[in-house]
């Protein structure tokens, strides 16, 4: 039996193409993945991301606990509502999950974790808490829904629906959040465009979704979400990273604090592991389509592999993220093995697209 979000009936009423997404019944598209992609780059669209899990951690020692749990430094969070992107590592330095942490007060931090790793994450967080901070209250919030409204016109559309939210949220910088009534409004997203991710009570989600739609916000599915995040150079857990890969070889060194004296799970492993690989962008120069797991042939002795690939609607050509030898430089030409043929591709610095602008 597939799990469903509070918006499942709304998706079906809008004639969504539904698919099994890691055990969740989710919309792939509402007619045209391509149109949904362009709609968000050029105007505004909305995604149901209620399959992701919000986790509230409360208690006197929550900051100290998170200092040791995640690779980024929660001491950067000093303003209520500020968010931090980070990885949670195992002792070998592998990535258990990537997540966002919101600082709400010294006794209340909120985490948003991936749907496919949610159960594993809760087990891991709970087990670590028992050892290090047994008095903390760890609460998975399946009573909440989450809707991402993304695109250059996203914020104004949200303000037109949540009429008392503009004054409170218009000065939010990226990776900041605020509570407005029943809405937890965060200026975050997974598309490379501006917008909000809005958490609200599950029983209010369908009404809010419909109000957004009436205001001109088009629904978008998993297909467009994937091409948008790929263009934006954003990692997907299970493809670009997992428990066998460390963040330093996943383009996520910027999320790891190795400078402070603070210790965290996986730190010692990261300090001694050689960094032989990097996550790089590829733009295909020949005709074809780049896909996950295709082999990348370089001028170096070792080979690489595409972790995420596909057709970029914005660039109108095929792009990919690939884990390749660390010594390969931006601008070099490599070859990708596609159906027993070696197709030429150029190594580029990602993101490929951000805020509607092509960057490669």
CA dihedral 247, 356, 211, 103 (to 10 degrees): 30
Q: CA 278, 99, 133 angle in degrees (round to 5)?
A: 120
Last-in-domain residue among 231, 246, 274 = 274
Same domain? 287 vs 346 = yes
Radius of gyration of the chain (CA): 20
Domain span including residue 328: 276-358
Same domain? 205 vs 253 = yes
Residue 9's pLDDT band (cuts 50, 70, 90): very high
Domain count, the chain: 2
| Distance from C-alpha of 252 to C-alpha of 273, rounded to nearest angstrom | 15
Phi then psi for residue 122, to 5 deg, are -60, -45
Same domain? 158 vs 146 = yes
152, 356 contact by CB (below 8 A): yes
Is residue 168 classed exposed, middle or buried when 0-12, 13-18 and 19+ CB atoms within 10 A define those classes? middle
Phi then psi for residue 286, to 5 deg, are -90, 175
Same domain? 201 vs 304 = no
* β-pair partners for 311: 318
Check residue 302 and give its pLDDT. Answer: 87
Check residue 216 and give its pLDDT. Answer: 98
Q: Based on DSSP, count helices (H) and strands (E) in the chain, helices before strands.
A: 9, 21
3 state SS of 3: strand
Longest dimension (CA), the chain: 60
Last-in-domain residue among 274, 295, 328 = 274
Is the pLDDT score of 137 beyond 90?
Answer: yes
| Distance from C-alpha of 98 to C-alpha of 100, rounded to nearest angstrom | 7
Same domain? 100 vs 137 = yes
Is the pLDDT score of 275 beyond 90?
Answer: yes
Same domain? 119 vs 246 = yes
Taking the model in full, what pTM does it have?
0.96
Chain CA centroid to CA 45, Å? 17
Same domain? 207 vs 280 = no
Is the pLDDT score of 66 beyond 90?
Answer: yes
- Average pLDDT (154-169) is 97
Same domain? 159 vs 293 = no
Check residue 301 and give its pLDDT. Answer: 78
* β-pair partners for 306: 322
- Average pLDDT (88-108) is 98
Same domain? 174 vs 81 = yes
Residue 300's pLDDT band (cuts 50, 70, 90): confident
Last-in-domain residue among 249, 274, 299 = 274
CATH number at residue 194: 3.30.1360.120
Q: At what angle do helices 118-132 and 62-69 cross, to 10 degrees?
A: 120
CATH number at residue 306: 2.40.30.110
* β-pair partners for 358: 353
- For residue 241, give the DSSP letter: B
The rounded mean pLDDT for the chain is 97
**Kind and range of the H or E run holding 226:** helix 222-231
Same domain? 284 vs 266 = no
Concatenating the DSSP letter of every residue in 340-353 gives: TEEEEEEEEPSPSE
Same domain? 244 vs 288 = no
200, 6 contact by CB (below 8 A): no
Q: pLDDT digits over 307-344, tens only?
A: 999 999 999 999 999 999 999 999 999 999 999 999 99
Same domain? 347 vs 202 = no
């Amino acid at each position: 039996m597939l799990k469903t979000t509070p918006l499942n009936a709304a998706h079906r009423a809008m004639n969504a193409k539904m698919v099994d997404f890691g055990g969740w019944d989710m919309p792939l598209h509402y007619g045209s993945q391509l149109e949904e992609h362009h709609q968000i780059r050029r105007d505004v669209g909305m995604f149901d991301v209620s399959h992701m899990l919000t986790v509230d951690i409360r208690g006197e020692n929550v900051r100290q606990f998170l200092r040791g749990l995640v690779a980024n430094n929660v001491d950067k969070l000093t303003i209520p509502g500020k968010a931090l992107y980070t990885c949670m590592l195992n002792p070998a330095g592998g990535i258990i999950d990537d997540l966002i942490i919101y600082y709400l007060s010294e006794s209340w931090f909120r985490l948003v974790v991936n749907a496919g790793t949610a159960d594993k994450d809760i087990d891991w967080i709970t087990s670590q808490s028992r050892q290090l901070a047994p008095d903390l209250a760890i609460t998975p919030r399946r009573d909440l829904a989450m809707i991402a409204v993304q695109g250059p016109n996203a914020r104004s559309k949200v303000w037109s629906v949540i009429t008392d939210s503009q004054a409170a949220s218009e000065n939010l910088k990226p990776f900041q959040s605020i509570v407005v009534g029943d809405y937890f409004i965060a200026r975050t997203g997974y598309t490379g465009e501006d917008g909000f991710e809005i958490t609200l009570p599950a029983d209010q989600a369908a009404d809010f979704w419909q109000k957004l739609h009436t205001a001109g916000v088009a629904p978008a599915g998993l297909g467009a979400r994937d091409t948008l995040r790929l263009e934006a150079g954003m990692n997907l857990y299970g493809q670009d990273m997992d428990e066998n890969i460390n963040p330093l070889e996943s383009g996520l060194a910027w999320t790891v604090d190795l400078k402070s004296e603070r210790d965290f799970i996986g730190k010692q492993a990261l300090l001694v592991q050689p960094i032989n690989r990097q996550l790089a962008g590829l733009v295909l120069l020949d005709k074809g389509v780049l896909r996950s797991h295709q082999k990348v042939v370089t001028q170096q002795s070792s080979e690489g592999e595409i972790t995420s690939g596909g057709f970029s609607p914005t660039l109108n050509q095929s792009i990919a993220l690939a884990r390749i030898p660390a010594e390969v430089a931006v601008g070099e030409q490599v070859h990708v093995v596609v159906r027993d043929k070696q197709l030429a591709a150029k190594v580029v610095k990602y993101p490929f697209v951000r805020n509607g602008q092509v960057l490669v």
